């Protein structure tokens, strides 16, 4: 069985060597009618509680990789499997547009909690601006996808963005407009990326946690007057670029799965 919840049995099925079928993909969202109850049961659980069973890959499935993804919400995960007849717990955190990949030797249980939701965000982690062409602005969504060993696993481990004077809706627009004085652009780590680099005119850069359910906005650190700056960002983190220069500024943002350093 793929999951305890019949409403989550969706996506392609996979057949084990013993002929048992299970769902290779499950998801939940508050915007899908038959998933609202499941979503509510995942949301706002105490951190010390064990999360709810979200996806089960049965023994006999063989080795494979689970890709855990959240959009518009933050979640933490417990991945329970067995190796050499010993139960093993793995942990993962995913943020407002991010993923994690977990290797399983032969099946396991995926338990999760949705810890908070955030304003509209797209697949590139852009929070408070028009969506870039292609990826649509996503409602809160949490997914688990299983890939058997040898399968081609989709990877999102680098992204480069830049601002510009033309609207994203224009024929030759930019993903983000030029940043006016006393305004800020916010970025969440996309995909597997956890390292951020800013290049541009002097700007104030802060790292925050942002959530609307429950309402939380916590600033952890701020760098004043950054020009060429690289930073590690946790999955739940949000990077805010604030323009206090008095004029419009343009800049580039680079994300990577691996560490980057300032020149």
- Per-residue DSSP letters for 146-175? EEETTS------EEEEEEESS-TTSTT--S
Domain boundaries, the chain: 6-148, 158-256
Question: Do the Cβ atoms of 238 and 195 come closer than 8 Å?
Answer: no
Nearest residue to 213 (alpha-carbon basis) of 35, 93, 44, 38: 44
Omega cis (within 30) before 72: no
Supply the pLDDT for residue 120.
76
Rounded Cα gap, residues 223 and 244, in angstroms: 12
Phi and psi dihedrals of 258, rounded to 5? Answer: -115, 165
- Going by their DSSP bridges, the two strands 190-191 and 97-104 should be labelled as parallel
Q: Say whether domain 158-256 belongs to CATH 2.60.120.
A: yes
| Tokens linked to 97 | 């547009």
Nearest-angstrom CA–CA distance, 227 and 12: 47
- How high is the pLDDT of residue 238? 96
Q: What is the pLDDT along the chain (263 residues), one digit of tens a residue?
A: 334 444 444 557 888 777 778 889 999 999 888 888 889 899 988 888 888 999 999 988 889 999 999 999 999 999 998 777 788 899 999 999 999 999 999 989 999 999 888 877 888 898 866 555 556 667 899 999 999 998 999 899 999 999 999 988 888 888 889 999 999 999 999 999 999 999 999 999 999 999 987 788 899 999 999 999 999 999 999 999 999 999 999 999 999 999 976 54
Residues 70, 40 contacting (CB under 8 angstroms): no
User: Which residues 6+ apart lie within 8 Å of 249 measured at CB?
Assistant: 163, 178, 179, 200, 201, 203, 243
Q: Mapping DSSP to helix (H, G, I), strand (E, B) and coil, where does residue 72 land?
A: coil
Residue 35 structure tokens: 């998933």
Nearest residue to 45 (alpha-carbon basis) of 69, 11, 73: 73
* pLDDT reported for residue 50: 83
**Rounded to 10 degrees, what is the CA torsion of 63, 12, 22, 47?**
80
The answer to whether 241 touches 201, Cβ cutoff 8 Å, is no
DSSP tag of 39: H
210, two tokens: 């942002």
Give the per-residue pLDDT at 4.
Answer: 41
Per-residue DSSP letter, 37: H
Which residues are paired to 138 by β-bridges? 121
The gap from C-alpha 34 to its chain's centroid, in whole angstroms, comes to 23
Looking at residue 129, what is its pLDDT?
A: 60
């Amino acid at each position: 069985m793929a999951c305890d919840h019949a409403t989550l049995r969706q996506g392609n099925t996979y057949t084990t060597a013993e002929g048992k079928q299970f769902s290779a993909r499950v998801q939940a969202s508050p915007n899908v009618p038959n998933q609202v109850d499941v979503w509510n049961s995942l949301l706002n659980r105490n951190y010390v509680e064990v999360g709810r069973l979200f996806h089960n890959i049965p023994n006999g499935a063989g080795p494979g990789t689970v890709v855990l993804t959240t959009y518009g919400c933050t979640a933490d995960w417990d991945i329970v499997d067995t190796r050499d007849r010993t139960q093993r717990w793995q942990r993962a955190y995913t943020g407002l547009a991010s993923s994690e990949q977990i290797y399983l030797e032969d099946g396991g249980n995926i338990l999760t909690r949705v810890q908070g939701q955030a304003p509209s965000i797209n697949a590139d982690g852009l929070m408070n601006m028009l969506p870039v062409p292609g990826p649509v602005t996503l409602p809160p969504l949490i997914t688990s996808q299983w890939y058997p060993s040898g399968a081609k696993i989709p990877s999102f481990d680098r992204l480069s963005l830049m601002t510009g004077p033309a609207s994203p809706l224009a024929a030759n627009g930019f993903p983000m407009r030029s940043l006016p004085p006393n305004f800020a652009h916010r970025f969440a780590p996309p995909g597997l990326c956890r390292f951020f680099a800013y290049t541009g005119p002097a700007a104030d850069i802060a790292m925050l946690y942002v959530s609307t359910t429950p309402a939380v906005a916590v600033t952890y650190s701020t760098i004043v007057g950054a020009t060429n700056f690289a930073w590690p960002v946790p999955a739940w983190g949000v990077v805010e670029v604030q323009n206090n220069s008095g004029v419009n500024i343009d800049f580039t943002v680079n994300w990577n799965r691996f560490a980057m350093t300032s020149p």
